[in-house]
């Protein structure tokens, strides 16, 4: 199962609305089940440096089928995944990446959000991921 472009655009719209509610500007990336970019939005004025981060957050969430913040907790010095961020061409292991599931609970893609605090990034990603 893969996320469709229509679903990805719907998720981005919901995520943008949440970003506006938080008074922040975000880069929002949606990848499919194969971690391929399906849709991307950079809100007017969002940080350019966060563009790549949002895409890597989405890919990281899909590669490991868990929130990127959870991977961050496991990748601290002494943790079981220490240095994992150096694999797969570079991962992002702080909050803002969330797997997207269909109505049957199957992972069909992931969302990555970057452009504010990690708390805001995660809140926008979580809101987007549950939009379907």
Give the torsion through C-alpha atoms of 101, 98, 54, 31, to 10 deg.
-20
Using DSSP's 3-state secondary structure scheme, residue 90 falls into: coil
Task: Name all domains of the chain by residue range, CATH numbers in brackets.
Answer: 5-129 (3.30.450.150)
Phi–psi pair at 67, nearest 5 degrees: -60, 140
Among left, alpha and beta (phi > 0; psi -120 to 50; other), residue 109 is left
The pLDDT tens digits along the chain (132 residues) read: 899 999 999 999 999 999 999 999 999 999 999 999 999 999 999 999 999 999 999 999 999 999 999 999 999 999 999 999 999 999 999 999 999 999 999 999 999 999 999 999 999 999 999 999
């Amino acid at each position: 199962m893969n996320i469709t472009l229509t679903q990805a655009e719907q998720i981005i719209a919901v995520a943008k609305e949440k970003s506006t509610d938080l008074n922040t500007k975000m880069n929002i990336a949606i990848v499919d089940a194969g971690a391929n970019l399906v849709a991307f939005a950079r809100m007017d004025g969002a940080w350019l440096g966060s563009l790549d981060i949002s895409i890597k957050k989405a890919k990281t969430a899909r590669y490991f089928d868990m929130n990127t913040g959870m991977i961050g907790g496991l990748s601290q010095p002494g943790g079981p995944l220490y240095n994992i961020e150096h694999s797969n061409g570079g991962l992002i292991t702080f909050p803002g990446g969330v797997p997207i599931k269909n109505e049957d609970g199957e992972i069909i893609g992931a969302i990555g959000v970057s452009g504010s605090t990690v708390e805001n990034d995660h809140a926008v990603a979580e809101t987007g991921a549950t939009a379907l």
